[in-house]
């Protein structure tokens, strides 16, 4: 960074940087600035490289913190960048690569210094670093002006020569907002928060949110270094670039991190979409900022929740602030392709839960399998995913199953050869049956491993929403429903047995809490059993003739239900199951003994048409709706910042300074 530097270890000896952080003020008209920001550098894209760079910058930044109150050189550097942003659009149109690259370098230097500043000082002290030695009217608003300049740079047209500065602008915004990492409480009214929530910043809200969404949608790979400005050459000692015409050779130098991971090919392989990833992280951070005081809503969340389709020709209501239009088809495609990442799943959840326009569009798609199958794959590999990712995927399914049209249509979509489903060979299965298989498998995994009550409750809620629309269940899906009931029955009997043994055996002074514990466990299991009985009953009551495989599985394991026939918690719901089991058992007995599977299925199918509907008691329709808990920011803000911490491209934070979440939860 700065002229004539080849390795990170040389930074402290670089004369240009020593001048910047020194005791002398530098005029903004001094040729020094042009020399300072004339270097070639590939921004770090791994946490290790970022750590290496930050360790080299820390001693320099600390000296600048000490001297800047007298020199104001940091503020001057910011103004140099601000001045160049005003010409970025023209430079892009004129293919002025050198000008854009120098603007990028200035911003990169600011970001590196800010990263250290934020770890060393409060927001108030940071504000002073911008405003020391004011030389221009209104310069105390540097942060505000700088944020607006970010919006300008974010609106640049996407070309290879602007990719790096767009990435740098987004990354710098994340760094500027990272004070939240170092506080356990949610930051609601800090200086940076105030700047983001008012005046010129707010007026650019929809523009910024739209740009970040488009960065995510475009999924652009980072262009190779040779396309930035220079022709790549090799000198055996690092990355050396030829010079653009008209640039004095003495101003330009190589700047590398020196490690294998800094080579462009490997960087692109590890993080092929850095701008897309970073833009999505910034969008999630902004959308999850807390509302302002006096019921002032977060404008970035407003923009995320009310944007419309470009094909929607209806006028935008005047009361909707910060709205805009975007191509829903492109956004839907990007969401389908990127569900392997936590942040893309969180964006999908946010849009389904909060943006009515986007939710209605998704539910109207005839290719919902492109969205649902990746979500099911997340749940199927539950043991390899963090709990938050699994939870978000499950809530997405719950929201989708609130719609009856979705619940019907998923049974009409036939899938072939689901390769990631390894327990059985699924050569052909409906999307609905696959959803049932995976959700029940998730419940079973949860019951034997994590025992998260919220997880299996939401799984059961999704199944309940679908149950009245179950159609032509695959035999494996039907078997899985009954096998889950068998597991619950086994757990129920085990707890009863343990409680009985506890009563019979000698009890010590410390055993007073034992029976209440058993009672609580039994109550939880019986709630789940009741829910499963209601799901089975809902299917039988509403679509018996469509589900011979479920009736077959029910008859095959009918002994499982015997013990619950007289149980006071289940007597009412068991009447219908007894009716179905008794009706089909009689018809099978009348058909003779030693029946083949095919013959049994034939009897069941004919019997389903003959069973009068009025023989089954009607129960209220099973319908569950997802509702966020009070103060959702207590969950989402730490979650979002854990994603930034883990997935931010080229960003590193010391774990010892993180206060917002524990490293285990991250």
pLDDT digits (tens, 9 = 90+) for 450-473: 667 788 899 999 999 999 999 999
Residues sharing a CB contact under 8 Å with residue 182, sequence separation 6 or more, in sequence order: 118, 119, 657, 658, 659, 660
The answer to which of 245-254, 381-390, 575-584 has the lowest mean pLDDT is 245-254
pLDDT at 13: 82
Same domain? For 51 and 167 the reply is yes
Same domain? For 371 and 479 the reply is no
pLDDT at 258: 37
Decide if 46 is inside a domain.
yes
pLDDT of residue 190 exceeding 90? no
Residues sharing a CB contact under 8 Å with residue 458, sequence separation 6 or more, in sequence order: 391, 394, 395, 398, 626
Same domain? For 578 and 429 the reply is no
Distance (Å, rounded) from C-alpha 604 to C-alpha 200? 69
Tokens 């009217």 belong to 137
Same domain? For 611 and 564 the reply is yes
Same domain? For 615 and 643 the reply is no
Same domain? For 483 and 463 the reply is no
At 144, the pLDDT band (50, 70, 90 cuts) reads very low
pLDDT at 197: 83
The answer to which of 367-381, 457-471, 521-535 has the lowest mean pLDDT is 521-535
Distance (Å, rounded) from C-alpha 505 to C-alpha 508? 10
Same domain? For 415 and 283 the reply is no
Domain count, the chain: 3
Same domain? For 66 and 169 the reply is yes
Q: Identify the domain containing residue 557 by its residue range.
A: 473-501+517-621
Decide if 264 is inside a domain.
no
Decide if 413 is inside a domain.
yes
Same domain? For 458 and 482 the reply is no
Residue that is last in its domain, among 409, 441, 467: 467
Distance (Å, rounded) from C-alpha 261 to C-alpha 49? 8
Same domain? For 431 and 533 the reply is no
- Exposed / middle / buried, residue 24 (Cβ in 10 Å: 0-12, 13-18, 19+): exposed
Decide if 183 is inside a domain.
yes
The stretch 271-277 carries a mean pLDDT of 84
Same domain? For 549 and 405 the reply is no
pLDDT of residue 112 exceeding 70? yes
The stretch 642-656 carries a mean pLDDT of 92
Decide if 36 is inside a domain.
yes
Decide if 656 is inside a domain.
no
Residues sharing a CB contact under 8 Å with residue 197, sequence separation 6 or more, in sequence order: 289, 292, 296, 298, 299
At 265, the pLDDT band (50, 70, 90 cuts) reads very low
Distance (Å, rounded) from C-alpha 389 to C-alpha 308? 27
Same domain? For 478 and 370 the reply is no
Decide if 659 is inside a domain.
no
Decide if 313 is inside a domain.
yes
| Partner residues linked to 326 by β-bridges | 309
């Amino acid at each position: 960074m700065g002229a004539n530097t080849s390795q990170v270890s040389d930074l402290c000896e670089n004369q240009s940087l020593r001048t910047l952080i020194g005791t002398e003020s530098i005029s903004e008209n001094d040729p020094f600035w042009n020399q300072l920001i004339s270097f070639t550098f590939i921004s770090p894209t791994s946490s290790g490289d970022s750590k290496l760079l930050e360790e080299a910058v820390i001693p320099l930044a600390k000296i600048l913190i000490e001297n800047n109150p007298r020199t104001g050189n940091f503020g001057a550097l910011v103004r140099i960048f601000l001045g160049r942003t005003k010409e970025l659009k023209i430079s892009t149109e004129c293919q002025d690569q050198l000008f854009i690259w120098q603007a990028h370098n200035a911003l990169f230097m600011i970001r590196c210094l800010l990263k250290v500043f934020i770890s060393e000082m409060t927001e108030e002290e940071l504000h002073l670093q911008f405003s020391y030695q004011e030389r221009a009217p209104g310069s105390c608003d540097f942060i505000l002006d700088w944020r607006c300049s970010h919006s300008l740079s974010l609106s640049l047209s996407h070309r290879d020569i602007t990719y790096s500065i767009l990435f740098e602008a987004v990354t710098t915004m994340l760094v500027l907002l990272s004070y939240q990492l170092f506080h356990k409480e949610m930051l609601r009214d800090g200086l940076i928060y105030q700047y983001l929530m008012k005046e010129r910043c707010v007026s650019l809200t929809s523009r910024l949110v739209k740009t970040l969404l488009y960065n995510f949608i475009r999924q652009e790979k980072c262009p190779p270094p040779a396309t930035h400005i220079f022709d790549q050459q090799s000198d055996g000692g690092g990355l050396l670039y030829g010079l653009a015409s008209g640039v004095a050779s003495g101003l330009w130098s190589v700047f590398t991190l020196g490690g294998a991971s800094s080579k462009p090919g490997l960087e692109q392989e590890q993080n092929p979409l850095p701008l897309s990833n970073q833009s999505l992280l910034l969008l999630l951070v902004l959308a999850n900022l807390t509302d302002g005081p006096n019921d002032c809503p977060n404008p970035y969340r407003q923009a995320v929740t009310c944007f419309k389709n470009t094909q929607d020709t209806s006028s935008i209501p005047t009361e909707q602030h910060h709205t805009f239009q975007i191509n829903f088809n492109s956004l839907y495609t990007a969401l389908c392709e990127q569900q392997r990442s936590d942040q893309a799943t969180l964006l999908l959840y946010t849009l389904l839960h909060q943006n009515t326009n986007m939710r209605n569009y998704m539910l109207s798609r005839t290719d919902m399998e492109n969205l649902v199958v990746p979500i099911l794959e997340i749940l199927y590999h539950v043991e390899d995913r963090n709990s938050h990712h699994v939870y978000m995927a499950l809530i997405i399914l719950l929201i989708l199953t609130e719609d009856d049209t979705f619940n019907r249509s998923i049974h009409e979509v036939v899938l072939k050869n689901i390769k990631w489903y390894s327990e059985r060979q699924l050569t052909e299965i409906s999307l609905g049956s696959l959803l049932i298989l995976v959700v029940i498998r998730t419940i079973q995994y949860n019951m034997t491993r994590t025992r998260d009550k919220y997880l299996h409750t939401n799984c059961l809620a999704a199944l309940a929403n679908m149950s009245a629309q179950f159609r032509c269940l695959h035999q494996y899906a039907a078997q899985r429903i009954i096998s889950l009931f068998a597991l619950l029955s086994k757990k129920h009997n085990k707890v009863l047995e343990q409680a009985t043994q506890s009563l019979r055996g000698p009890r010590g002074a410390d055993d007073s809490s034992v029976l209440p514990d058993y009672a609580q466990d039994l109550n939880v299991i019986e709630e789940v059993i009741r829910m499963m009985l209601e799901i089975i009953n809902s299917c039988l009551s509403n679509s018996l003739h469509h589900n011979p495989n479920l009736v077959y599985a029910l008859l095959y394991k009918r002994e499982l239900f015997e013990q619950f026939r007289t149980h006071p918690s289940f007597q009412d719901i068991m009447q219908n199951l007894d009716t179905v089991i008794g009706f089909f058992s009689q018809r099978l007995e009348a058909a003779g003994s030693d029946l083949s599977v095919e013959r049994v299925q034939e009897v069941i199918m004919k019997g389903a048409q003959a069973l009068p509907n009025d023989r089954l008691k009607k129960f209220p329709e099973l319908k569950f709706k997802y509702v966020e808990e009070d103060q959702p920011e207590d969950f989402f803000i730490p979650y979002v910042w854990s994603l930034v911490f883990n997935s931010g491209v080229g960003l590193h934070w010391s774990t010892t300074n993180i206060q917002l979440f524990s490293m285990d939860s991250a």
